[in-house]
Structure 1
Amino acid sequence: MSELILPTPMRIKPHGSDTIRDVATLRDASEILIDWPQAKRGPFYQAAREKVEAALETQR
């Protein structure tokens, strides 16, 4: 399986964190979403998680 690289890398500072995380691949995005604070997971989080996981599934 090759890693899918995003066309435009992003930098994200999760809510409540002082750490800035780089997102350059689908795997990076998945890891950030997995680590996202439970209390801050709403409908936008859920939609993002479903899209990222679906894209990862097509890469397998």
Structure 2
Amino acid sequence: MIDGTAGNEMLSPKDVMKLTGLGEKIVYGTFKSPDFPAVLFGKRKYVSKRDLMKWMEKQKNK
């Protein structure tokens, strides 16, 4: 996890797995999805906790 301002820390796929309890295939597949708000830093993808929560809320309403 990369610390940021409150609620805006950057999460790796492994952080997302720990936070959500979802498995590796689901999380890495989600990070590859074009509508997922992942950010590329070098060769690694991260998502802000805030963006993850917003994205999850949108998915719940689909």
TM-score interval, normalised by the smaller of the two chains: under 0.3
Indicate the structure (1 or 2) with the bigger Cα radius of gyration.
1
Q: TM-score, normalised by structure 2?
A: 0.27
Higher strand share: 1
